[in-house]
A and B are shown apart, each in its own frame.
Chain A
Amino acid sequence: MDSSPRAFKANARAAVKDPQLKRALAHVKVGFIGKRAKAVARLPEFDALRDAARDIKVHTLDHLDLYLERYEERMTAQGGQVHWCPSAADARAAVLDICRRVGAKTVTKGKSMISEEIDLNQHLEANGITPVETDLGEYIVQLRGERPSHIIAPAVHLTKDLIEADFRAHHRHLPPERSLEEPRELVEEARGILRERFLAADVGITGANFLVAETGSSIIVTNEGNGDLTLALPRVHIVIASLEKVVPTLEDATTILRVLARSATGQEFSTYTTVSTGPRRAGDVDGPEEYHVILLDNGRSEMLAGPFRDALRCIRCGACMNHCPVYHAIGGHAYGWVYPGPIGAVLTPGLIGIEEAGDLPNASTFCGRCEAVCPVRIPLPKMMRHWREREFERHLTPRAVRAGLGLWTFLASRPELYHRVTGLAARLLATLAGRKGRLRSLPLAGGWTGVRDLPAPQGRTFHALWAERNRSTGP
């Protein structure tokens, strides 16, 4: 699969025909949706918390410069160091500089989508440093040389037989006759292998769910405990975070935490929520001696200026993709970049350009479930519509679509003509469809009828029915 949003259509076509992917994605539908619904039902305050979480994010984005200043001030006072990085290249260079200065050979990593965004692993490897992903899903994906296909469940596109095959291929020092059929056995094997890596690492890199201006802290949320071993054992802890992760206070982070796990995995609270503030203190017998935060912009300050500011509220729970019929059908890799699903369809064009990612905001049925479940109420469908408008304005929309829209505009602005043409079309299609009421193929609509029948109109238009209804029920 080509990993570029330009290949979206080809990727999506291949994905829907992949039976293994279909089996794996079935877990998304039953698992995530049911668990979230249960957790939400148990907390009467859930919707009030969503409103509060949205308000916190809106307030913070409106004052982002000031909160970042405060954050840096507090963080530096606790002995940490902020590295301001306008671009992905700046962030890669900053991480590599630290690793080189401390003579790092291996680096353990907690889960971080920003790391994917800046292609950090490739950069470290090219410079002779071995990055080891320690989140189980990330570890599996790293073994396979793939990207995560989901922001909180990186290996959700895989079934356990594939993971077993990867473990057998890579863990060659273990007895080949061992049993790896049960998920428990796979988890156990990864635990054993990664334990050694945790203890040997020179630098630990984690992401951040939040940066807290009040205390200069970074917060991560995990279930496995890998992030904690990553940040507690090595001599240096590097956090990579983007600008919009900052929140004002610990209370604000708490409000958002109350909706985060419930929206993501349906848990009441994640197993581990960990707050890091600076390096180890005088008298501490463990913890890192250095604490660095890589603060990445990479297009976000520009998004802040325009109609896509609200997308920066995202807290990366994954609920929008868990509830998306398009994601259910094609999985995350087809999107071709770091963030899949509805939030990816909005963020990707913002971060790498609509010219690169124009297909993504078009890959939506506008069913609206993403917005309905978003814990910070991002109007995702509206934003996808914004992107479509931009595409149209910039003449990026395919010629056939533009011609179609032009024709429709011509008709729709002439009601008499519109009624006559649509009435004729409805009757014609109904006649062609015959008694089945469905069309198996239709000129100019091959994109639709190539994979499914087109339900035909029943012969009357809405306007005609409405007029008749008014006549029969009128005064």
Chain B
Amino acid sequence: MSAGRDAIMGSLRRALKRGAEEADAGARQAVDRRLDEFPRGPQPARAQIPPAAQVDLFEAMAVEQAATVARIASLDQVPAAVADYLKAANLAPKLRLAPSPELENLPWDGQPMIEVETGRAEGRDQVSLTGAVAGIAETGTLLLASGPEAPTTLNFLPDNHVVVLKASQVVGAYEDGWDRLRETYGRGHLPRTVNFITGPSRTADIEQTIQLGAHGPRRLHILLVEDTESGNGPRDGG
């Protein structure tokens, strides 16, 4: 394609002592096999547990990383839970909503005080609300994927990021999250941006002391919808 490419490839092939096509067939096979089988590495035992326990682990790990979690019984309770959050955090009743029908069709008219706008985030937005693809129990990590219904700017520009996560979306390991993406987008394909998010933004660049709210959201609030059998209604201390 270019002189640069030829130079680098030539140098790599010399370094790896590549020969004729035939002799390299074995190497090509090894590469094809790995890409085809995408084997997993060692899986931490801590997340290889029953689904209900994974949800608890997800919550505990997320809270440890300074996220807040509120459990709610159904999606319909999201608007009221958002109103509670805005009140408790003393925030103006304004919300930038991801343009996803599932979130737009929630009973927002039950919260007439909240001014809801949809779309990508703009510089002055204080609070965003998005969905997620999965929650990774291993480290309390959210998995989000970009798309027309999920603009990436919502995850980073506003000071407060509120995420709706269903208990049925909680998986054990990151690899389970990749598998969900493969189901949706097909093997070898990803949307423009995939975000793994573990707690709110932070920095330790000044004398190794951790400060929250470096450039991204200062607060990450997770509304955990208990849509599975194991989660019947909100629990205490959620």
Task: Tell me whether A363 is interfacial, beta carbon within 8 Å.
Answer: no
Are A140 and B205 interface neighbours, CB within 8 A?
Answer: yes
Task: Tell me whether A254 is interfacial, beta carbon within 8 Å.
Answer: yes
Tell me how many residues of B have a C-beta within 8 Å of chain A.
Answer: 80
Per the 8 Å Cβ criterion, residues 66-103 of A in contact with B are 66-70, 74, 78, 82-86, 90
B34: chain A residues within 8 A (beta carbon): 59, 248-249, 252
Other-chain residue from A163, A187, A214, A295 in contact with B188 (beta carbon distance below 8 A): A214
* Chain A interface size, under 10 / 10 to 19 / 20 to 34 / 35 or more: 35 or more
Other-chain residue from A226, A251, A268, A273 in contact with B178 (beta carbon distance below 8 A): A251
- Docked Cα-Cα span, A137 to B204, in Å, equals 9
Task: Tell me whether A27 is interfacial, beta carbon within 8 Å.
Answer: yes
B15: chain A residues within 8 A (beta carbon): 301-302, 304-305
Other-chain residue from B8, B200, B217 in contact with A243 (beta carbon distance below 8 A): B8
Q: A226-B214, A232-B153 provided; 16 other pairs, C-beta below 8 A?
A: A64-B12, A78-B190, A82-B5, A153-B205, A160-B207, A215-B188, A224-B203, A255-B41, A274-B194, A276-B193, A281-B191, A285-B148, A286-B146, A297-B11, A304-B12, A304-B15
Task: Tell me whether A45 is interfacial, beta carbon within 8 Å.
Answer: yes
Are B190 and A271 interface neighbours, CB within 8 A?
Answer: no
Task: Tell me whether A154 is interfacial, beta carbon within 8 Å.
Answer: yes
Using CB atoms, name the residue of chain B closest to A135.
B205
B65: chain A residues within 8 A (beta carbon): 268, 271
Task: Tell me whether A186 is interfacial, beta carbon within 8 Å.
Answer: yes
Are B214 and A187 interface neighbours, CB within 8 A?
Answer: yes
Binary interface profile of A, 150-162, with partner B (CB < 8 Å = 1, else 0)? 0001111001100
Using CB atoms, name the residue of chain B closest to A24.
B207
- Docked Cα-Cα span, A86 to B11, in Å, equals 10
A278: chain B residues within 8 A (beta carbon): 192
Per the 8 Å Cβ criterion, residues 47-75 of A in contact with B are 48-49, 52-53, 56, 59, 62-70, 74
- Docked Cα-Cα span, A436 to B124, in Å, equals 71
Task: Tell me whether B39 is interfacial, beta carbon within 8 Å.
Answer: yes
Task: Tell me whether A145 is interfacial, beta carbon within 8 Å.
Answer: no
Most chain-B Cβ atoms within 10 A of its Cβ — which of A59, A66, A156, A281? A66
Binary interface profile of B, 183-226, with partner A (CB < 8 Å = 1, else 0)? 00000111111111111111111111101011111000000000
Task: Tell me whether A434 is interfacial, beta carbon within 8 Å.
Answer: no
Per the 8 Å Cβ criterion, residues 29-47 of B in contact with A are 30-31, 34-35, 38-46
Task: Tell me whether A381 is interfacial, beta carbon within 8 Å.
Answer: no
Per the 8 Å Cβ criterion, residues 221-255 of A in contact with B are 223-226, 228-229, 231-233, 243, 248-252, 254-255
- Docked Cα-Cα span, A274 to B152, in Å, equals 11
The interface of chain B, by Cβ under 8 A from chain A, is: 1-2, 4-5, 7-9, 11-16, 18, 27-28, 30-31, 34-35, 38-46, 61, 64-65, 99, 119-121, 123, 138-139, 141, 146-148, 151-153, 155-157, 174-175, 178, 188-209, 211, 213-217
- Docked Cα-Cα span, A437 to B44, in Å, equals 53
- Docked Cα-Cα span, A83 to B8, in Å, equals 11
- Docked Cα-Cα span, A255 to B42, in Å, equals 8
- Docked Cα-Cα span, A311 to B175, in Å, equals 28
Are A223 and B188 interface neighbours, CB within 8 A?
Answer: no
Using CB atoms, name the residue of chain A closest to B136.
A269
Are B201 and A74 interface neighbours, CB within 8 A?
Answer: no
